[in-house]
Amino acid sequence: MIPVDRLTPFEARIEHAELAEKIARWDKAYHGSDAPEVADAVYDAARRRLGAIEAAFPDLAGKSPLAGKVGAPAADGFGKVAHRIPMLSLDNAFSDEDVAEFDAKVRRFLGLAPDAALAYMAEPKIDGLSINLRYEGGRLIQAATRGDGALGEDVTANMLTLPEAELPRTLGPDAPDLIEIRGEVYMSKADFLALNQRQEEAGEKVFANPRNAAAGSLRQLDPTITAGRRLSLFAYAMGDASAPPAASHGDYLDRLGQWGFRVNPRIRRCADVAEALAVYRSLGDERAQLAYDIDGVVYKVDALDLQRRLGMVSRSPRWAIAHKFPAEQATTTVEAIDIQVGRTGALTPVARLVPVNVGGVMVANATLHNEDEIARKDVRIGDTVIVQRAGDVIPQIVAVVADKPRGPMAFVYPETCPVCNAHAVRPEGEVIRRCTGGLTCDAQAKERLKHFVSRNAFDIEGLGDKAIEFLWEKHLVRTPAAIFTLEEANRASLTKLENYDGWGKRSVDKLFESIRGRATMGLERFIFALGIRQIGDATAKRLARHYGSLEHWRQAMETASDEAKADLISIEDIGPAVAKDVLDFFAEEHNRAAVTALVDAMTALGGRVEDARKADASSSPVAGKAVVFTGTLTTMTRPEAKARAEALGAKVMGSVSKKTDYVVVGADAGSKAAEAGKLGITILSEQDWLALVGQV
């Protein structure tokens, strides 16, 4: 694997996109189907690699289908519950150094000195299913899963099968009028083994691990099935609340215990990072003896007022991190080395292995990244290698076992695409060899279609990878627009889709219904689905919010005037490289034609591309306003100021333009303040800004 600091910007963009696509698929399998495709260590390593790339290449930060997303969409069989306070996932740490950097980031954001007091709570990370319990007037009224973080599943009836000792139905008289208590539903190791024994005796499916068993049991449409399986609950967090029940997280946990909830007895308050790491090592030593599975330790800033100030970024809170336990390794043999072609034409080598059990999960594939990596490690077909479930999107080969017999020949990297036979070029200074076939390469075209229907794009149910492969091979779908004409083409022909093996009338009707349901799509999803390089979910949302409508966005991009370019670059987190990729996309006639054909096909089904949702102007005085911060602020750090502004509905810009509404200046403000003066833009001091938003 190439170290992140050795990646070129081009290589980083490619790997970033491929990582994001894989992780999105894994999320759907893990959270939506309770059927994980890869081990936790593999998933964690992929997330870590993605984060490392985004840290090294800030232009990529937030520009993936994962930005702001956790979990998977709520299943159709349950009622939907919108979480007023998102149920976030956690960033991961894998070393003491990662934890120290987390502490440093918290301090930088809050403006705290390195030696200032900052306490943490250290909690065992239970491997189960997150739950949100809503109490009104002290009575339990609803239980919901995390879902995708914003929308979960109503599993109230299933949760009520837990005994009162696990799930209190009422709280004490000191409870707020409204409070959401969050925790983890899990299955103990003993209950898991007993369940699997009963399943096996009955000839039913056995579960891979306690986490899957707990998730599968809680997400049953028939509550009597849930009632027959013993589930447990640890409470550890808070969602929405009409009034804060405590001043610190530790005090809140004490209050939960007073209300009758089970709180993990191994949670400890730590005066600093050193104490938190001591808890991590202690829990690691006793992990095997615990009655339940844990896969790490969670550190949370103890003071709730500091948690509120820190807020969140995308999918994770700034005030917490999960310190995961180490990955495991195993030894196996390389049977073959295949070349995969990605959406952008990147040729990626993958080792096919004799399947080996690595920490309880069978591993049969491992990434080799590129030809330089193969040459550096000298991996050959027939070699005995060490495989680790960490470090990349799929397990990686750590090294060749030197004292074992070697493969007879070094691997020869292809100079042509294995799919379309087009020349594969490797530009000077780069390590990625790339197919030059473009849209004439079936592999690239199919991968782009898979991106178009992916979860954070059009998210068309029934059009997974296998369906796209099938429709492509039958020449039924070769462009995004063809998806929306698929029903008309099949209904009008003698050969209908349901006549093919594997397709029945019911499945086809459901697919067509899903396609019709996606004929109307929000602008941010539409932009993301186009697959423009470097445009991930978060950037698509920024573009949608900035331009408002597809018509305005297309007009600005196709005009590509100096003013349009400057306006594009002024958007927060969109630099010249990203702007160039967007403008280059619209510079191609076939791309413009594809967008037009897609919109026409959606319109023919009665759909449209919806304008971006505008912030409610009555919600705050800066909702919808374009704001630039410059200089050194005194009451808060600039990251905190930007986070608060965005929470109030403002559009935080990276540079000043004619469309900027306010420029907030701190000490030593430079060129941005001067530019604002020239353009006649309202300049606010830090105190003026705080007064405007009602924070003084």
Same domain, 267 and 230: yes
State the residue for tokens 């890869």. Answer: 38
Least confident of 130-134, 233-237, 376-380, 389-393: 389-393
Contacts of 512 (CB under 8 A, 6+ apart): 486, 487
Backbone phi and psi for residue 346, each to the nearest 5 degrees, phi listed first = -65, 130
For residue 532, the domain's CATH number is 1.10.150.20
Q: What DSSP state is assigned to residue 75?
A: P
Model confidence band, residue 523 (pLDDT cutoffs 50, 70, 90) = very high
Of 569 and 26, more confident: 569
Q: What is the largest CA-CA distance in the chain?
A: 80
Query: Please, are residues 71 and 149 in contact by the beta-carbon 8 Å criterion?
Result: yes
Instruction: Map residue 84 onto helix, strand or coil.
Output: coil
Rounded CA-CA distance 317/237 in Å is 12
For residue 658, the domain's CATH number is 3.40.50.10190
Whether the per-residue pLDDT at 482 is higher than 70: the answer is yes
Question: Is 199 domain-assigned?
Answer: yes
Query: Please, are residues 374 and 412 in contact by the beta-carbon 8 Å criterion?
Result: no
Model pLDDT for residues 454-469, shown as the tens digit of each residue: 888 998 988 988 899 9
Give the percent of the chain with pLDDT over 90: 46
Whether the per-residue pLDDT at 33 is higher than 60: the answer is no
For residue 354, the domain's CATH number is 2.40.50.140
Of 249 and 47, more confident: 249
Same domain, 121 and 91: yes
Q: Which of 548, 581, 610 is the last residue of a domain?
A: 610
Q: Which of 307, 324, 341 is the last residue of a domain?
A: 324
pLDDT at 360: 57
- Residue 282's H or E segment, with its range, is helix 273-286
| β-bridge partners, 338 | 350
Whether the per-residue pLDDT at 337 is higher than 50: the answer is yes
Tokens of 223: 């509550």
pLDDT at 35: 54
Instruction: Map residue 230 onto helix, strand or coil.
Output: coil
pTM over 0.75: no
Model confidence band, residue 533 (pLDDT cutoffs 50, 70, 90) = confident
Q: Which amino acid is at 538?
A: A
Model pLDDT for residues 85-124, shown as the tens digit of each residue: 989 889 899 899 999 999 999 999 999 999 999 999 999 9
Same domain, 594 and 682: no
Least confident of 320-334, 349-363, 590-604: 349-363
Q: Pairing state of beta strands 682-685 and 662-665?
A: parallel
pLDDT at 29: 60
Question: Is 513 domain-assigned?
Answer: no
Of 641 and 616, more confident: 641
Q: Residues 312, 318, 324, CA angle at the centre, nearest 5°?
A: 125
Of 26 and 447, more confident: 447
* DSSP assignments along 448-488, one per residue: HHHHHTSTTTT--TT--HHHHHHHHHTTS-SSHHHHHTHHH
Whether the per-residue pLDDT at 393 is higher than 50: the answer is no
Average pLDDT, the chain: 86
Q: Which domain holds residue 209?
A: 80-324
In total, the chain counts a number of residues equal to 696
Whether the per-residue pLDDT at 64 is higher than 80: the answer is no
* DSSP assignments along 247-272, one per residue: SBHHHHHHHHHHTT----TT-EEESS
Question: Is 384 domain-assigned?
Answer: yes
Mean of the pLDDT values across residues 267-288?
94
Same domain, 187 and 298: yes
Same domain, 271 and 335: no
For residue 276, the domain's CATH number is 3.30.470.30
Mean of the pLDDT values across residues 175-181?
96
Mean of the pLDDT values across residues 593-622?
83
Tokens of 217: 């049991």
* DSSP assignments along 298-331, one per residue: EEEESBHHHHHHH-EETTEETTEEEEEPPP-EEE
Same domain, 271 and 177: yes
Query: Please, are residues 554 and 595 in contact by the beta-carbon 8 Å criterion?
Result: yes
Contacts of 314 (CB under 8 A, 6+ apart): 62, 67, 68, 538
Whether the per-residue pLDDT at 339 is higher than 90: the answer is yes
The domain total for the chain is 5
Question: Is 51 domain-assigned?
Answer: yes
Rounded CA-CA distance 132/149 in Å is 11
Same domain, 227 and 142: yes
Catalytic residues: 125
Of 231 and 44, more confident: 231
CA atoms within 13 A on the CB side of 397: 32
Same domain, 543 and 600: yes
Question: Is 466 domain-assigned?
Answer: no
Rounded CA-CA distance 600/87 in Å is 37
Whether the per-residue pLDDT at 392 is higher than 50: the answer is no
Same domain, 178 and 122: yes
The distance from CA 182 to its chain's CA centroid, rounded to whole angstroms, is 21
Same domain, 145 and 53: no
pLDDT at 615: 47
Mean of the pLDDT values across residues 556-576?
85
Rounded CA-CA distance 107/100 in Å is 11
Rg (CA), the chain: 26
Q: Helices 442-452 and 465-473 sit at what angle, rounded to 10 degrees?
A: 130
Mean of the pLDDT values across residues 294-300?
94
* DSSP assignments along 608-636, one per residue: EEEPPPPP-TTT-TTTT-EEEEESB-SSS
Tokens of 77: 């069989």
Model confidence band, residue 616 (pLDDT cutoffs 50, 70, 90) = very low
CA atoms within 13 A on the CB side of 385: 32
Same domain, 191 and 275: yes
Question: Is 450 domain-assigned?
Answer: no
State the residue for tokens 């910007």. Answer: 9
For residue 50, the domain's CATH number is 1.10.287.610
Same domain, 219 and 293: yes
Least confident of 204-213, 275-284, 513-522: 204-213
Whether the per-residue pLDDT at 77 is higher than 60: the answer is no
Question: Is 599 domain-assigned?
Answer: yes
Q: Which amino acid is at 471?
A: L
Question: Is 65 domain-assigned?
Answer: no
Model pLDDT for residues 247-258, shown as the tens digit of each residue: 999 999 999 999
Mean of the pLDDT values across residues 638-650?
83
Q: Which of 425, 450, 466 is the last residue of a domain?
A: 425
Q: Where are the beta strands (DSSP E) in 468-625?
A: 520-522, 608-610
- Residue 351's H or E segment, with its range, is strand 347-358
User: Cα dist. 420→9, 82, 466 in Å?
Assistant: 26, 46, 20
